[in-house]
């Protein structure tokens, strides 16, 4: 599989990664043994970026990944995150610098590895200046516990403040044909700062694969509360999917492969991380990395599946976190969209 660089500090990964969250939460019951087989198959196919977080399943996801990494550590680029805490008290954000090393050490223990390749702040803590959290993350790099640092779902201002403290290899955010708002702010800012782009939900939480049945929507915590999957918004979005499927059929590929190829064509600094619990989907997604689409294809997509044709805003799908109404700069927070704690 093609290799891509994230950031300017030498982080190299496969063009397509694997988002592990759904193997522990969000999309219904899972089978750990089958999840391990799926992840091993991904490594066999050349997928190196394995993306997890301490919050996924309350640590379950990292422990699951440890089974896959045993004996195959050198094949993987391990990305994990801290900052969203799930425990008996519910869900909260914690980016306090005094806690960062403890979270990293706990993740290392669960993963069964000595160093984290890419360590993300999962969400900025409204109670802590982001520069302080990133400063503590930089200490992990100097201590040899972490190779590169990243940020997830941050504003442009937060990204700029973080980069002023330490080089940031990657920023993670929702981006797909279905959700293109980051193209207006985060994407150009990251490129100006030399930060790689890691889109999660690149298949639109399954909608862009054209295989999602409407009666499956309410079985998922991550679709049930999302307006894009209900009512008139869903009707409009399904019309877009029909057009997308027709284009994919003309090209002799699946709709999901076309959605991934579209993202990959947006630049060599883009590494989407689709997730799946099925072996055939791993093979399909991996094959999508080799499907080049040209400017003519991109223009056709823009004409027949326009950005303006998608309907519905993102909505938070987790319990609210109480926080001051300020952003990382101390200015009033700008929340154009609800941020779901995935």
The set of catalytic residues is 56
Dihedral sign from CA coordinates of 134, 135, 137, 141: positive
Angle at the Cα of 122 from the Cα atoms of 167 and 221, rounded to 5 degrees: 150
Which runs of consecutive H residues, i.e. helices, occur in 144-294?
A: 156-165, 186-193, 221-224, 231-251, 255-264, 279-288
Least Cα distance to 322 among 89, 164, 166 occurs for 89
Q: What are phi and psi of 66, to 5 degrees?
A: -60, -35
- Which residues are bridge partners to 77 per DSSP? 49
CB distance 28 to 220 below 8 Å: yes
In this structure, how many other beta carbons lie within 10 angstroms of the beta carbon of residue 314? 19
Residues 62 and 201: their CA atoms lie apart, in Å, by 19
Q: How many CB atoms lie within 10 A of CB 23?
A: 27
Of 291, 9, 342, 335, whose CA–CA distance to 163 is shortest?
A: 9
CB-count exposure of residue 307 (10 Å: 0-12, 13-18, 19+): middle
Give me the phi and psi of 227, to 5 degrees please. Answer: -55, -25
């Amino acid at each position: 599989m093609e290799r891509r660089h994230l950031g300017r500090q030498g982080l190299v990964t496969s063009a397509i990664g694997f988002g592990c969250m759904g193997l522990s939460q969000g999309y219904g019951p899972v089978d750990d043994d089958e999840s391990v087989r799926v992840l091993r198959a991904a490594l066999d196919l050349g997928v190196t970026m394995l993306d997890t977080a301490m919050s996924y399943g309350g640590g379950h996801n990292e422990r699951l990944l440890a089974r896959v990494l045993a004996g195959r550590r050198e094949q993987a680029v391990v990305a994990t995150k801290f900052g969203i805490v799930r425990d008996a008290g519910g869900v909260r954000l914690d980016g306090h610098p005094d806690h960062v090393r403890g979270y990293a050490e706990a993740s290392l223990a669960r993963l069964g590895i000595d160093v984290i390749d890419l360590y993300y702040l999962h969400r900025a803590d409204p109670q802590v200046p982001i520069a302080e959290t990133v400063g503590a993350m930089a200490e992990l790099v100097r201590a040899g516990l972490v190779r590169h640092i990243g940020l997830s779902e941050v504003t442009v201002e937060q990204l700029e403040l973080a980069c002023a403290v330490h080089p940031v290899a990657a920023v993670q955010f929702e981006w797909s044909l279905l959700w293109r708002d980051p193209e207006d702010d985060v994407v150009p800012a990251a490129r100006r700062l030399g930060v790689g782009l890691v889109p999660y939900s690149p298949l639109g939480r399954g909608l862009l694969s054209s295989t999602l049945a409407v009666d499956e929507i309410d079985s998922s915590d991550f679709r049930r509360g999302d307006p894009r999957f209900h009512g008139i918004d869903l009707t409009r979005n399904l019309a877009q999917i029909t057009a997308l499927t027709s284009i994919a059929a003309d090209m002799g590929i699946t709709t999901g492969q076309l959605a991934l190829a579209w993202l990959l064509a947006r630049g060599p600094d883009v590494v989407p991380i689709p997730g799946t619990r099925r072996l055939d989907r791993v093979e399909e997604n991996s094959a999508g990395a080799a499907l080049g689409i040209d400017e003519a294809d991109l223009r056709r997509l823009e004409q027949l599946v326009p950005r303006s044709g998608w309907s519905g805003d993102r909505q938070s799908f987790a319990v609210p976190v109480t926080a001051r109404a300020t952003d990382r700069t101390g200015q009033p927070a700008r929340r154009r969209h609800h941020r779901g704690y995935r």
